[in-house]
Structure 1
């Protein structure tokens, strides 16, 4: 044992490891294959007589007049004269441990510092595995495990870019390396990734996405065109959709009876007997769940024609029209008759010439009827009625000649004088029918 080792042991005995501990940092971490710098707290340029570095009780490096490096550290150590610091390269896991330094300055007591180095393997090959990747919503649970190479110290999980924390359905165990989700939902599909770190490195796994089956739900039946009712020969298209993973399989029913399969059902050239209640049923072959749409009623009408009800309606309409027409005719007939009576009354009043005042106008011309001339046995003629006596005649016509001054009733002589007609001869005299004298 040389004098410097003896001095180091003696200094430890008297001062202990804590004295001068400020010469070195409290602890250091380094990666396998990397390097570490043991930096002292001495002021650069401080003169010292000797420096001695040790790894545990093993000599590492000594400087006094000449530098001395243990053979196993050759090529791995660099010594810095200005501060007495030391750099160690090409680190291995077995380089982890306690490192100490003793520095002797002229006229001063030896100063000793100690620190601990932990050499870590770098994090690599971070990977996430799942107990299952195909899950059924509300029925399945899953565990995700994170593994890596190196010396991991901490784990945390990410769902997309958000950190996953433990809640009722989510449990994080095994030091954070295992994530368990109970009764998964469709929102638990991820992608999930695991982040691993240690003091010298970190790494993140590739994302893992869970396949979660759900549905069917919200089954929706649509009809195109949506207008109803439909005439025979119309083309009607029905489509069915649902929220489902994987895509649902669809079955069509008419009045509860099976029709066909597929997401669409077409009624081409539809017929009246295809009327009824249509519905579609969605089925998920992973969740083994069914859901049926609300039924939709389709009415297909026959070709234009007239049924018994239609005929009855027409007959009733015709009868109503005939009744209205008859009422109009009856009204017009009776109205006309009423007007005729009124005119007749007015004419009668005119013919009487206003008997109330006994006047008769000269300008009224009379046509005679019912007057007969007869022959006498001696060849003479007889005038029926008294010629000089005023006579009233039952039938006459009054022309609309402006009324003159009132006069006495006309006589036959006055009539002949006015018309200046010769007296009819017996042989040519035409009998007049039915003389009626008032």
Structure 2
């Protein structure tokens, strides 16, 4: 008893554009005999084109198409179409005829799939936005089947909230009330069965007036800013007096604290920051502080050096005198020598003078004279004051 021929084929078969598509078509019983296979193409206008007739590909399509069957068929009747394009997207009919089991056919739709890089636009232009403005982005995708759109900020998916909203198919993103944090790179992604692909990034340039900061290092106060566009002019106000510094650095002077304000200006406006800045007094690392001014310390040092110099000179003078002979000792010695000479001269005169008495010449020594002479001999005259003439002579010799 013959078994009815049955064809199995999917209603829809999708393949990426420019790939090789295999339209599957199976039949049973797989052992059917006398099998012939045919494929036809039906476009949107219902025009029919024969692709395969009685298991042979029509000459016109042999360069792109072939049957996926073996010599004995074995239930396979698939059609391979190489390098499919969008023009190949239409209905295809698979027909199977068996001499033993009759004829059967099935219809499938070839879907050509693609997903091209989406494009992103901004309204208004992204380079003319300021804090508080609103902006709407649109993601233009070219995909089949329709892709799912997602939005990204600096490559991170945006979570929708009161400020970030999108339409039903997510093709637009609206941002309400831009902030400085929205100065970022925005993009959209398109995802379908073919692939996920992202648009180019678009930079949102949020312009805002400067936010200023004061930083003190040592006795230098630096003015820094966050601003877009950049600050083109810096000013300081120190205790009410305006001071302009080209390099945005003010150096503290004196020892008093000051009220200092830094101003920065760009084309959007002017920002400022204020603080109290005090000079830093750095103590000496080599000597403890004396509390004296530099001039007083210098005067003390000079006075000490002068005193030391005077002492040194005095010591040198004394050393010179000592080397030339002791003053007191040399002088006394010269006086003593003169005294001895005078004594000797007096003694000689007395010895040569004749002795006299009341009764005549006395050839002996007068009584008491010898004793007196002995006392003179025994007396030490070395420390007696020398006679005036000898003294003057000695002083001249010493000089």
- TM class by smaller structure: 0.5 to 0.7
Given the alignment, which residue of 271, 276, 281 partners 1:290?
271
Please give the per-residue CA displacement for 1:333-364, whole angstroms capped at 9, x wherever unaligned: xxxxxxxxxxxxxxxxxxxxxxxxxxxxxxxx
Counterparts in 2 of 1:282 and 1:72: CA distance versus 1, 3 Å: farther
Counterparts in 2 of 1:54 and 1:242: CA distance versus 1, 3 Å: same
TM-score of the superposition, structure 2-length normalised? 0.56
Counterparts in 2 of 1:170 and 1:161: CA distance versus 1, 3 Å: same
Deviation at 1:290, TM superposition (A): 2.0
CA contact (8 A) 2:152 2:186 kept: yes
Please give the per-residue CA displacement for 1:251-294, whole angstroms capped at 9, x wherever unaligned: 11122231224421124xx468xx67432233341442423313
Q: Does 1:61 align with 2:55?
A: no
Counterparts in 2 of 1:103 and 1:159: CA distance versus 1, 3 Å: same
Deviation at 1:127, TM superposition (A): 3.5
Partner of 1:210 in structure 2? 204
Q: Does 1:238 align with 2:221?
A: yes
Partner of 2:167 in structure 1? 173
Partner of 2:182 in structure 1? 188
Computing the radius of gyration from Cα coordinates, the structure with the larger value is 1
User: Number of aligned pairs?
Assistant: 267
CA distance in 2, matches of 1:185, 1:84: 63
Question: Which segment is superposed worse, 111-120 or 211-220?
Answer: 211-220
Task: Map 1:43-54; keep pairs closer than 5 Å.
Answer: 46-48=31-33, 49-54=35-40
Partner of 2:241 in structure 1? 257
Counterparts in 2 of 1:88 and 1:146: CA distance versus 1, 3 Å: same
TM-score of the superposition, structure 1-length normalised? 0.51
Q: Does 1:91 align with 2:76?
A: no
Deviation at 1:139, TM superposition (A): 1.8
Q: Name the SS of the counterpart of 1:94 in structure 2.
A: helix
Deviation at 1:31, TM superposition (A): 3.4
Partner of 1:76 in structure 2? 64
Counterparts in 2 of 1:290 and 1:94: CA distance versus 1, 3 Å: same
CA contact (8 A) 2:131 2:206 kept: no
CA distance in 2, matches of 1:46, 1:59: 29
Given the alignment, which residue of 35, 43, 47 partners 2:20?
35
Q: Name the SS of the counterpart of 1:116 in structure 2.
A: strand
How much is the aligned-residue C-alpha RMSD, in angstroms? Answer: 3.7
Please give the per-residue CA displacement for 1:5-46, whole angstroms capped at 9, x wherever unaligned: xxxxxxxxxx9xxx96x7112311233433311112336954
Counterparts in 2 of 1:296 and 1:271: CA distance versus 1, 3 Å: closer
CA contact (8 A) 1:239 1:264 kept: yes
CA contact (8 A) 1:27 1:117 kept: yes
CA distance in 2, matches of 1:124, 1:107: 49
Gaps of 5+ in 2: 282-291, 295-399
Q: Does 1:222 align with 2:207?
A: no
Counterparts in 2 of 1:93 and 1:297: CA distance versus 1, 3 Å: same
Please give the per-residue CA displacement for 1:215-272, whole angstroms capped at 9, x wherever unaligned: 53363252624xxxxxxxxxxx3222344444444311122231224421124xx468
Q: Name the SS of the counterpart of 1:53 in structure 2.
A: strand
CA contact (8 A) 2:150 2:189 kept: yes
CA distance in 2, matches of 1:250, 1:79: 79
Task: Map 1:224-373; keep pairs closer than 5 Å.
Answer: 224-225=218-219, 237-248=220-231, 249-262=233-246, 263-267=248-252, 270=253, 277-296=258-277
Please give the per-residue CA displacement for 1:43-66, whole angstroms capped at 9, x wherever unaligned: 6954353222222261423443x6
Counterparts in 2 of 1:160 and 1:238: CA distance versus 1, 3 Å: closer
CA contact (8 A) 1:213 1:286 kept: no
